[in-house]
Amino acid sequence: MALRRCSLCSKPKIIAEILSVCKDCLLERFPEALPHLQRVHRETREAFLLPLDSSSEESHIRCNLCARACRISEGSTGFCGLRKVQKGAIKGPTNKEALVSWYLDPLPTNCVADWICPGGTGCGFPTFSYRTGPEYGYFNLAVFFEACNLNCLYCQNWHYRNSYQRMKWVTVEALLECLNPQISCICYFGGDPSPQTPFAIKFSEEALKRKKGPILRICWETNGLFSPHLLPKIIELSLISGGIIKFDLKAWHKEIHFALTGYENDKILQNFSYVSQFVRERREIPLLTASTLLVPGYVEEEEVYQIAQFIAQIDPEIPYRLLAFSPQFYMKDLPLLDKEKAVKALRAAKKAGLKRVSLGNEHLLR
């Protein structure tokens, strides 16, 4: 196992070179680490010509299409890179177009929720699923939003960042042409759907009106930074269709969350709590589920226990999935996760009070 000396405490630990700071120092000496972390996130965005963090000036115009709520100055662009202020007004995509790509993914698919969803298990049959087991012969319309409001240094889908340079917009009508009778679910992921939620809502409404078969579930795989005023519609669409809202809870401590993503997690946890109020309205298929990527040296047993405890206090029946780490992007120097550590994290989630916990991507464990 490759160890590095932390730039603050000088102790040898599992540390990502780009961060240079260990987990303990992030928690205990965050003010000292912050200038370096801010520089890291600035430089990793500049490498892709992406906008930097939004302004805090009250005089600048606020964008309310995601929970980040950027304040944008004249001539500048919000953090997601999609909206710009011109002549005192925000210009950018509407609910009629978005920066997306898509493909048909045969069911059952490698989805975060495959272990608890109709496409992977047949739960909700016959109202929300075509089969009593996995939906072989059907497809998920996987809609990838090529923009994001976080800056995850270990992003598994970082290639979307190159899309900003070509900006190929897709209309609702063009995407509707992809629907066929074998599509039983739509999953929005990315990047993240939250910066382009109006398009996802509009497309979902039209897709449900024009669906080719009796079943079409609307699902979301997200970092959770939805604008609060759009969450009720997101919940409604998933509830009525048999879909699932999947939150990626990346870390519990805001310091670790900031180091990994460039943003704190308060608004994400608030949104998760809000959606949780509706889980009892449809118990046969979980409306809400969470996942956490186990990041060696940073997100392991202790972080998982805190996240799981937070979820269990809301509702111990909410499913929670832990995902094994794959070295990617700016953190590809980290090792694969030890199987023993993954098992400890799994036990910690159960100890915290959750009743439905699983481990995914086990083939990545060492």
The domains of the chain are located at 95-248
Region 250-279: mean pLDDT is 98
Q: Mean pLDDT, the chain, as a whole number? A: 94
Tell me the per-residue pLDDT of 16-28, one tens digit each, with 9 for 90 and over.
Answer: 999 999 999 999 9
pLDDT tens sequence across 75-109:
888 999 999 899 888 888 889 999 999 999 999 99
* pLDDT tens sequence across 200-244: 999 999 999 999 899 999 999 999 999 999 999 999 999 999 999
Return the pLDDT at 138.
Answer: 97
Query: Band of the pLDDT at 1, cuts 50, 70, 90?
Result: low
Tokens representing residue 341 in the block: 């550590």
The Cα 187–Cα 111 span in angstroms is 9
Check pLDDT > 70 for residue 2. no
Give percent of the chain above pLDDT 70. 97
- Calculate mean pLDDT across residues 140-164: 92
Element holding 30 (H helix, E strand): helix 30-46
Question: How far lies 101's CA from each of 90, 104, 143, 169, 337, in Å?
Answer: 24, 11, 6, 9, 31
Question: In this model, does residue 126 exceed pLDDT 80?
Answer: yes
Q: Which residues contact 293 (CB under 8 A, 6 or more apart)?
A: 154, 248, 250, 299, 323, 325
Token couple for 16: 């990502």
Residue 122's pLDDT is 96
Q: What is the pLDDT of residue 166?
A: 65
Q: What is the pLDDT of residue 59?
A: 67
Say what the pTM is: 0.95
pLDDT, position 174: 96
Q: 57 pLDDT exceeds 80? A: no
